[in-house]
Amino acid sequence: MSEFRVRPISSLNTSFAVPGDKSMSHRAAMIAGLADGVSEIRNFLPSEDCLNTLAAMQACGVEVEVLEEMPGFGPVTMRIHGRNMQLGTPSAPIDCGNSGTGMRLLAGLLAGQNFTCELFGDESLSGRPMGRIIDPLASMGAEIEALGAKPGCAPLRIHGKKLNPVRYELPVASAQVKSAVILAGMFCDGVTTAVQPADTRDHTERMLGSFGVKVTRDGQAISIEGGQVPLARDFRVPGDISSAAFWVVAAAAIPGSRLVITNVGLNPTRTAVLDVVERMGAKITRTLHSADDGEPIGDIEICGAELTGTELYKDEIPNLIDEIPVIAVAAALAKGKTIIRNAKELRVKETDRISTVVANLRAMGGVIEEFEDGMEIEGGHPLHAASVESHGDHRIAMAFAIAGLFATGETIVGNTACVNTSYPGFSRQLEAAISGSVIPADYALEVIPVAPL
């Protein structure tokens, strides 16, 4: 089984890019697949999660022409031939792998088709709650059976049928649930509205907008009129800020470091991690290049400092939910206390990320108290090497690789193949950081010389 062996580093002065955004890559495959015409998608994330979604669309008859690949991983540039909202019946159950986003958004999109199909996933995904999308979709008239061993869990058998528009109040702040409702709403006659309890990432709304589908927002109510067909267009996926976050923390916690991450997505519903790391004392400069495709994209420069603890605000939690494992690592390296509450959602991610973070940080000498909805970290206790487990969770594997860069001795992170679900190329960048060699500027690891800063 693969593992990371990580040794401490003393500086990080370089510039590189991270792979395409996972959330946007899922949506690009789906929306371009529904569109009228041919879309060219660039910088698609060739991670297992997104490749499963792409394969799901192909299984529903969407033709994909691959133009460029990341060697060893998969397509990065491709032409997607949209099916003008009429998907074809898949001939076999669809494998969503490890991806909650893939399964939940596909369920929304498939509930209004005129065929029956099945979605299944790996062990982790088969234990995650699907009632949160079955309930709203059922209120629209969808018929979805949860066939899993655990109640309300995958596999899902979806009997597609004509849906009715609804106004649905989300009980949890979840972009996946909101998106499932909006995507299903595309197949209804009339206006479907999803009301979120707090801001969540808005990539579905933005991407539909850039494909010419009108989505309106009134406070926290997001509405879509059914019957609109996305118009094919070219779309470049920005770098994933959730992947950049690992390196943001690494650079932020080394006083004197200066790291530039180029062409990363700066959508305000995703950048709270930068606000938190700034509050902890690092200097971060954001340089916006464009928002041509409806998503702001730019460079971030991180200058490291002695970090101090902070408190995460309730409203920030949905915005940085995926970054909490690595923020917890930053907190362990900072002076003083960091308080993370209102984050119970962490317990239903790829692993229970409250317990996996707490166990791993403690194993490395961190001082941390666990709550049902979060944790309190008393920073400043030196970290030491340990053997820690990812439990098959990509963000846990990468967060503890970053912790290892600050621990005395050699940290071993076990079961790391899972990083390919979101960050192909991470291990190569990590090895380069540890050995002090140049991290290739392009995440695709083509030989592009990096100009030293």
Q: What is the dihedral of CA 115, 120, 125, 128, to 10 degrees?
A: 50
Residue of the chain from 15, 176, 192, 210 that contacts ligand S3P (CB under 6 A): 176
Task: Give the bridge partners for 377, in sequence order.
Answer: 338, 368
**Which segments within 128-241 are labelled E, that is strand?**
143-146, 156-159, 167-169, 191-195, 215-218, 221-225, 235-236
Exposed, middle or buried: residue 435 (CB in 10 Å: 0-12, 13-18, 19+)?
exposed
- First-to-last C-alpha distance (Å) of the chain: 37
Identify which range of 160-168, 171-179, 225-233, 364-372 contacts ligand S3P by CB under 6 A: 171-179
Task: State the minimum distance, in angstroms, from the CB of residue 390 to ligand S3P.
Answer: 16
174 binds ligand S3P (CB under 6 A): yes
Closer to ligand S3P by CB, 47 or 193: give it: 47
Task: State the minimum distance, in angstroms, from the CB of residue 295 to ligand S3P.
Answer: 13
Task: Give the bridge partners for 217, in sequence order.
Answer: 222
Identify which range of 172-180, 215-223, 271-279, 397-405 contacts ligand S3P by CB under 6 A: 172-180
Catalytic residue among 95, 322, 373, 442: 322
Helix (H) or strand (E) holding 367: strand 367-371
Identify which range of 170-178, 209-217, 220-228, 258-266 contacts ligand S3P by CB under 6 A: 170-178
245 binds ligand S3P (CB under 6 A): no
Residue of the chain from 201, 236, 353, 394 that contacts ligand S3P (CB under 6 A): 201
Collapse the DSSP code of 163 into the 3-class scheme (helix H, G, I; strand E, B; otherwise coil) and give the result: coil
Distance CA 435, CA 388 (A): 21
What is the dihedral sign for C-alpha 267, 214, 60, 174?
positive
Residues 316-335 that bind ligand S3P (CB under 6 A): 321-322
> Measured at CB, which residue is nearest to ligand S3P?
23
Identify which range of 119-127, 174-182, 244-252, 262-270 contacts ligand S3P by CB under 6 A: 174-182
Closer to ligand S3P by CB, 232 or 346: give it: 346
Task: State the minimum distance, in angstroms, from the CB of residue 26 to ligand S3P.
Answer: 6
DSSP 388-415: EE-TT-HHHHHHHHHHHTTSBS-EEEE-
Q: Which is nearest to 60 in space by CA: 32, 35, 87? A: 87
Closer to ligand S3P by CB, 15 or 179: give it: 179
Task: State the minimum distance, in angstroms, from the CB of residue 241 to ligand S3P.
Answer: 12
Task: State the minimum distance, in angstroms, from the CB of residue 204 to ligand S3P.
Answer: 7
52 binds ligand S3P (CB under 6 A): no
- Count of chain residues binding ligand S3P (CB under 6 A): 11
Closer to ligand S3P by CB, 304 or 424: give it: 424
101 binds ligand S3P (CB under 6 A): yes
Task: Give the bridge partners for 412, in sequence order.
Answer: 5, 387
Task: State the minimum distance, in angstroms, from the CB of residue 101 to ligand S3P.
Answer: 4
Distance CA 324, CA 123 (A): 23
Residue of the chain from 175, 222, 340, 354 that contacts ligand S3P (CB under 6 A): 175
Contact yes or no for 269/200 (Cβ under 8 A):
yes
Is the preceding omega at residue 155 within 30 degrees of 0, hence cis?
A: yes
Does residue 299 have an active-site annotation?
Answer: no
130 binds ligand S3P (CB under 6 A): no
390 binds ligand S3P (CB under 6 A): no
Contact yes or no for 325/289 (Cβ under 8 A):
no
Task: State the minimum distance, in angstroms, from the CB of residue 71 to ligand S3P.
Answer: 26
Two tokens, residue 28: 């690009």
Interface residues toward ligand S3P, by CB under 6 A: 23, 101, 174-176, 179, 200-201, 321-322, 345
Would you name the residues annotated as active-site residues?
A: 322
